[in-house]
Amino acid sequence: MRLIVRDVFTAEECAELRARARRLRFVDGRATAGWHARLVKANEQAAADDGAAAALLAEVRARLSAHPLFVAATRPKTFASLLLSRYRPGMGYGRHVDDALMGGVRTDVSFTLFLSEPDSYEGGALVVEDAEGESEIRLPAGFLYLYPASTLHRVEPVRAGERLAVVGWVRSYVRDPAVRALLFDLERARRLVFEREGKGETFDLLSRALADLLRRFAED
């Protein structure tokens, strides 16, 4: 399942995050790429040993962990990694697939949280591939795009301006993307029923089905 999560941060919060990012030390992004991805990766990322960068990423992690739509879509057990990435003119990230393990943690869902407004840079689209072709993703600041970590994808070269984003990987309680999608639909259906008729019999039965499916498929 691929999904846009809107308004994870407001435009004002993103402006503040960008201001903080300007004070961070950035290093060559190839430091954290696998040997094959390194061949096509040309970007920068905030240095992992920078305490201010770690604080910023911890805020992002906390916001996502408390976001009902993100949680319903990813069922996060933990975050395998979070990075603050920066692309300046001429930088891009060619077609690749993300590592299956990061620091010994399985990656199930990849995401990009856009921090730059789309009219502040040229190029820099996230392009994801599937059997039907390619989709170009270029979202407002504060919006997040998530997709299965097995997806082939790339970031088009930035031609002007600066593209700042937090990229990350979730280790999900539910390994199978099809099961995650099913649980997500059930969760949405349950909430719609609740809005319409409250906590009645239909809601309770849907809740039990959801809980039992999660018990059956979750790896805790």
Q: Name the one range near Ni ion by CB under 5 A: 65-73, 91-99, 125-133, 182-190.
A: 91-99
Report the residue number, 9 or 145, with the smaller CB distance to Ni ion: 145
The answer to whether residue 99 forms part of the interface with Ni ion (CB under 5 A) is: no
Phi, psi for 145 (deg, rounded to 5)? -120, 130
Could you tell me the two tokens for 5?
């999560």
Indicate the helix (H) or strand (E) that contains 63: helix 51-65
Output DSSP code: residue 119.
G
Q: Could you tell me the smallest distance in angstroms from the CB atom of residue 171 to Ni ion?
A: 16
> Which positions from 50 to 89 touch Ni ion by CB under 5 A, shown as an x/- string?
----------------------------------------
Report the residue number, 84 or 186, with the smaller CB distance to Ni ion: 84
| Rounded CA separation 110/87 (Å) | 18
Q: Could you tell me the smallest distance in angstroms from the CB atom of residue 152 to Ni ion?
A: 9
Q: Could you tell me the smallest distance in angstroms from the CB atom of residue 108 to Ni ion?
A: 14
How many chain residues are in contact with Ni ion, going by CB under 5 A? Answer: 1
Q: Name the one range near Ni ion by CB under 5 A: 2-10, 96-104, 137-145, 182-190.
A: 96-104
Output DSSP code: residue 79.
E
Residue nearest to Ni ion (CB): 98
Residue with tokens 């961070």: 24
Binds Ni ion (CB under 5 A): choice among 46, 80, 98, 148: 98
Q: H helices then E strands: how many in the chain? A: 5, 16
As a residue count, the chain comes to 220
Q: In sequence order, what are the residues at sequence separation of 6 or more whose Cβ sits closer than 8 angstroms to the Cβ of residue 9? A: 17, 63, 113, 115, 141, 142
Residues that bind Ni ion (CB under 5 A): 98
